Structure 1
Amino acid sequence: MYTIHPVPKRYAWGSRSSLQRMFHLDGADAQGPLAEMWFSGHAQSPSMLDMPSADGTTRMIALTDAIAQDPDGMVGARGANEFGPVLPFLFKTIAADEPLSLQVHPVGFQARAGFNIENRQGIALDAPERSFKDMNAKSEMVVALEPFLASVGFASHSFALRNLQLLRSPIAQRMVDAFASGGRHGDDSFADADMMMPVAATVWPESRKRIFRAFHTAVTAPASDPDALIDDINTAAAHATHSRNIMAFDFALRAARAFPGDTSVLALLMMNPVRLEEGESVFLPTGVPHAYIYGTGAEIMTNSDNVLRAGMTVKHKDIVNLLQCVDCRPTSPVNPSDARLGALLMRDVVFYKPGVSEYVLAYGHVDDTRAWPIVERLAVRYDALVQQMRGRAAVPHAGPRVLLCTQGEVVCTTQTDTRTLRQGEAVFIPASDGGVRISGTSGSYLMASTPF
């Protein structure tokens, strides 16, 4: 196994304390907001490994180069055959003090098309106006390490209408019109939205088109008076009665304060508000609109940095491409711990298995004296599933892994090595190291892996 160094990402919405504390940063490294720490095999931001040299010294080498030199040893023959000589997942810790962008990730064919178009246009891969950084579809999963807030996917029509009808804003009222009557025969008042629908919309039911029109209204509207928008959301929130509606208004208000005058914050009132406690998770398939609002979590995704933004950001917006990719089906947030996807709970570890071929995630705890309270809480929440699954072995062991100590210290043992990791330290475990055993007296860890 090899020490792996995370790549820091400093965005304005990042926390000023959470990741700094986890990774024991000080001095200049601890200053300002820190949003993400990447454990990455992505070509644009690879992590560095400490690897031994023939002369007994240690050299630093990019993970991408280490895999290219020994793909079978680093990611395994099966992984190299299925995904190529690459790490198929991107693993991050993320901490948000403020809401971040309203965004969508593309499916595979859209990513490939967008990547090739921007190449032909001569847009540099690291250019700020670049939308497609690679050709990969991007799904992702978040596991909360502390309370984590997010808006995920479109909620039901009735939920959205209950929220939007409480607002006085002309933009909100036009969104209400889109839900209630937009697109009726002979009604061309939403023709601009209809022209931006993807080709697949020709077979959409009318209900899905109405969601698209309402969302289009929010993300294409001009900026409004910041104080008036905040006042309108505040006043409407006072009339909300159900806890989910109140939460949605809270998220929209946070976003309106962070991005003054940005009407795209009204789209949050159409979406499912989610609060995750530690150990709880949500899976985001390609095309699902989402915005993270606040909190610290672990994030794992396919090996992609493709992000299409519609608002709530100072970065490049690509509304045209986003609208071509957005999934307008109203759905409940998909939790990888529920019966449809499955998570395995054992005494001191939870395995999150979202049903994709690139990644799984384990969140575990070592303690000689007591069971982990998080597992007990999740066991109560998912009692029926736990009774079916508890005790079955499903530890991924044949592919590449990244192990990060998040609290205390843990001992990692493979067939060839043993390491003690303290909070903020991580190792890359190549496929050739075989199985892994995690032990210790007091500590927590995250392990990202392929599900081989």
Structure 2
Amino acid sequence: MYPIRPVVKQYAWGSYDRLQAMFSSQFEQPFEGPVAEMWFSGHPQWPSTLSIPGRGEISVTDAIHEDPKGMVGQRNSDRFGPVLPYLLKVISARIPLSLQVHPVGFEARAGYNAQNAAGVPFDSPVRSFKDPVAKSEMVVAMEPFSASVGFASIPFMLRNLRLVDHPLAARMAQALAPRFAMRARNTEGFEEADAMMPVAASVWPESRRQVFRAFHAAITASESADLLPALETAASQATHPRAHLAFEHALIAARAFENDASVLSLLMLNPVTLDEGESVFIPAGTPHVYLHGTGAEIMTNSDNVLRAGMTVKHKDIPSLLRTLDCRSGAPIDPAATNLVALMMRDVVVYKPKLEEFMLSYGHVDAQHQQWPMVERLIRRYGKLVRQIGNGRPLVPREQGPRVLLCTQGAVHCVSASDERVLVRGQSVFIPAQEGWLSVDAVDCDPDSPHAPFAANGSFITASTQR
């Protein structure tokens, strides 16, 4: 196993203390300004570095290209090529991120090739497609985390928008109204939206076309100085807890991005709050906004982002609308239906329905006491999580590349041919050829190996799926 050094990303929405405290052992100088993300990356433009004995510092991408079978395994190399198929991040949002969508596969390839042909530099602020890879992602909360994810039901959208005394909200509600749907062929006033619908919209049910028109109205509207007071008044009239949460999210966004009309689109999305250990999966094409909190985020090996609002960065509304998934549905919890295989003593496994990645979030205790988070998950998911073993936590045994990060305390990592102690903020890359991996509590002080020491620790592990 090789120490891996994360790539630091400093964006305006980042935290001034969360990631700085977690990774204080990794950086000699304190950071100036907010820190938003730590990347454990095999992305070609921003790769992390490995410390390999006899080699010194080498990028993850170079290490994999030199030995794809040993680093990522024959099966993964055949499936994905000589690359790390996932990108692991630890993120901390102090204020909301942009309203965004990640492109599906064919849009990512088309956009990437088009921008290459046009000569748009990779570091250009107007470059939307950094690679030809579809981007689906999952976040696991490490503390309370709030987001708005995917379109809610049309009745939910309508109830929210009709409370807002504002012309744009009325226009959005008009697009969603049942009477308007009955006049499906009469789309007067929404011709611009209809002209921007993707080709696939010709076979959409009318409900998706309604959602598209309402969302288009929000993200293409001019700034509005009277939006915040209208939202505040409407929020005071919301009675259902879920509607109240949707308005709370919209108000957070409206206060962070003054006069930005796109915040009204949050009244169309599912409001999500996650406690520690809870998760949400965001397939490519799903509109979403992260509002606040710290979490582990894992995604396909892509940095493609299409923004529609709530940002000072480049907005690519035409590309976003071409890839927008207008289906209504509840947010996807990748742990909810997989918890029967979830525990090997205090390890939660999150397995979305794709091959590129999975995530484990675990805890070790020198006194062998149960992780308090497990009891909360049992209350939430019931019988699904009542299969708990008593042995050492084992990271899933696929022969693939893994990244393990200690997030609290200290952990003792043991593989088939190596072992080491990690303290908070330290991480290792475990090549496929390393075989099995287990994590246990530390029974000695890592700074003084001969002194008795009992430590608890928490960790996250990224891997490919079996």
TM more than 0.5: yes
SS at match of 1:250: helix
Aligned match of 1:286 in 284, 287, 290? 284
Counterparts of 2:430 and 2:166, CA distance in 1: 54
Question: How far does residue 51 in structure 1 lie from its aligned partner after superposition?
Answer: 1.1
* Structure 1 residues 34-45: aligned runs within 5 Å: 34-45=35-46
Residues 166 and 230 in structure 2, CA contact (< 8 A), matched pair in contact too:
yes
Counterparts of 2:287 and 2:232, CA distance in 1: 24
Taking only the aligned residue pairs, the percentage that are identical comes to 58
SS at match of 1:211: helix
Question: How far does residue 384 in structure 1 lie from its aligned partner after superposition?
Answer: 3.2
Question: How far does residue 28 in structure 1 lie from its aligned partner after superposition?
Answer: 5.2
Q: Deviations over 1:312-344 (max 9, x none)?
A: 111110000000001000110000112279761
Q: Return the TM-score normalized by structure 2.
A: 0.93
Counterparts of 1:415 and 1:178, CA distance in 2: 60
Question: How far does residue 13 in structure 1 lie from its aligned partner after superposition?
Answer: 0.4
Report the residue type matching 1:45 in the other structure. W
Aligned match of 1:311 in 302, 309, 312? 309
* Structure 1 residues 226-265: aligned runs within 5 Å: 228-265=226-263
Q: Which residue of 1 aligns with 2:449?
A: none
SS at match of 1:247: helix
Q: Which residue of 1 aligns with 2:95?
A: 98
Report the residue type matching 2:158 in the other structure. L
Question: How far does residue 430 in structure 1 lie from its aligned partner after superposition?
Answer: 0.4
Structure 1's 331 and 158: CA in aligned 2 closer, same or farther, altered over 3 A?
same
Q: Which residue of 1 aligns with 2:3?
A: 3
Counterparts of 1:278 and 1:140, CA distance in 2: 18
Counterparts of 2:253 and 2:191, CA distance in 1: 29
Counterparts of 1:44 and 1:92, CA distance in 2: 15
Counterparts of 1:273 and 1:342, CA distance in 2: 27
Q: Which residue of 1 aligns with 2:398?
A: 397
Aligned match of 2:159 in 159, 162, 166? 162
Structure 1's 187 and 362: CA in aligned 2 closer, same or farther, altered over 3 A?
closer
SS at match of 1:94: strand
Aligned match of 1:336 in 330, 334, 337? 334
Question: How far does residue 52 in structure 1 lie from its aligned partner after superposition?
Answer: 1.3
Q: Which residue of 2 aligns with 1:386?
A: 385
Residues 143 and 281 in structure 1, CA contact (< 8 A), matched pair in contact too:
yes
Counterparts of 1:350 and 1:438, CA distance in 2: 13
Q: Which residue of 1 aligns with 2:427?
A: 426
Counterparts of 2:95 and 2:383, CA distance in 1: 36
Question: How far does residue 257 in structure 1 lie from its aligned partner after superposition?
Answer: 1.1
Q: Which residue of 2 aligns with 1:20?
A: 20
Aligned match of 2:363 in 351, 362, 365? 365
Residues 101 and 284 in structure 2, CA contact (< 8 A), matched pair in contact too:
yes
Q: Which residue of 2 aligns with 1:212?
A: 212
Structure 1's 342 and 254: CA in aligned 2 closer, same or farther, altered over 3 A?
farther
Counterparts of 1:380 and 1:252, CA distance in 2: 30
Structure 1's 343 and 288: CA in aligned 2 closer, same or farther, altered over 3 A?
farther
Aligned match of 2:65 in 64, 68, 82? 68
Q: Tell me the matched-pair count.
A: 445
Q: Deviations over 1:168-218 (max 9, x none)?
A: 111111001111126633342111100001111001111111000000000
Q: Which residue of 2 aligns with 1:446?
A: 460
Q: Which runs of 5+ in 1 are unaligned?
A: none
Q: Deviations over 1:337-376 (max 9, x none)?
A: 1227976134311010112100110000000321011112
Counterparts of 1:231 and 1:253, CA distance in 2: 10
Is 1:326 aligned with 2:324? yes
Question: How far does residue 30 in structure 1 lie from its aligned partner after superposition?
Answer: 2.6
Q: Return the TM-score normalized by structure 1.
A: 0.95
Counterparts of 1:423 and 1:162, CA distance in 2: 46
Counterparts of 2:114 and 2:340, CA distance in 1: 38
Report the residue type matching 1:204 in the other structure. W
Q: Which residue of 1 aligns with 2:33?
A: 32
Counterparts of 1:408 and 1:229, CA distance in 2: 45
Residues 111 and 132 in structure 1, CA contact (< 8 A), matched pair in contact too:
yes
Q: Which residue of 1 aligns with 2:373?
A: 374
Q: Which runs of 5+ in 2 are unaligned?
A: 442-454
Counterparts of 1:396 and 1:138, CA distance in 2: 25
Q: Which residue of 1 aligns with 2:190?
A: 190
Question: How far does residue 125 in structure 1 lie from its aligned partner after superposition?
Answer: 1.2
